[in-house]
Amino acid sequence: MLHQDADNTRRDPNVKDTPTLIASDRVEGTRVYGADGKHIGSIERLILGKQDGRVAYAVLEFGGFMGIGHDHYPLPWEKLTYDTQLDGYRIDPTKEQIEGAPSYADDDDTWYNDNGRRVYDYYGVPPYWM
């Protein structure tokens, strides 16, 4: 059903979605819309806890030009709600509020070590590890 990702080569055709479950490769590339219904960006990847398997963050990408120079904005999974009408995820913050959120650059390998709590505090959501 999620058809925003033009490159379907990574997807296993044998994995089917259910009304309550979706494969991670079907989440990646899904569009994200703000509270105002405007397209903000897309889910670039999911960050999972190694030990507990919980989704720690969905990384939103937006900005840049043709995939170059975009920014990465970790969102608590709890902030995303799937909207069947939009065929994408809806979040309550607007694009302007996201632009003020904690973000990281492509080459920052240590960002999550020091900023996890900051992301959850910014969005007013209890951290996934609590």
**Per-residue pLDDT tens digits for 58-93:** 999 876 655 566 778 999 999 999 998 999 999 998
- CB-based burial of residue 69 (10 Å sphere; 0-12 exposed, 13-18 middle, 19+ buried)? exposed
Query: What are phi and psi for residue 48, nearest 5 degrees?
Result: -110, 150
Q: All domains of the chain, ordered by start, with CATH?
A: 24-123 (2.30.30.240)
Sign of CA pseudo-dihedral 7, 103, 50, 78: negative
Please say whether the beta carbons of 59 and 46 come within 8 A: yes
C-alpha 102/C-alpha 91 separation (Å) is: 16
Mean pLDDT confidence for 86-115: 81
**Per-residue pLDDT tens digits for 5-28:** 444 455 566 667 777 777 888 899
Which pLDDT belongs to residue 12?
A: 63
Model's pTM, two decimal places?
0.77
Structure tokens at 27: 């989440």
In total, the chain counts a number of residues equal to 130
Query: What are phi and psi for residue 123, nearest 5 degrees?
Result: -90, -5
Q: How confident is the model at residue 94 (pLDDT cuts 50, 70, 90)?
A: confident
Please say whether the beta carbons of 59 and 45 come within 8 A: yes
**Per-residue pLDDT tens digits for 32-57:** 998 888 898 999 999 888 888 889 88
Please say whether the beta carbons of 94 and 35 come within 8 A: yes
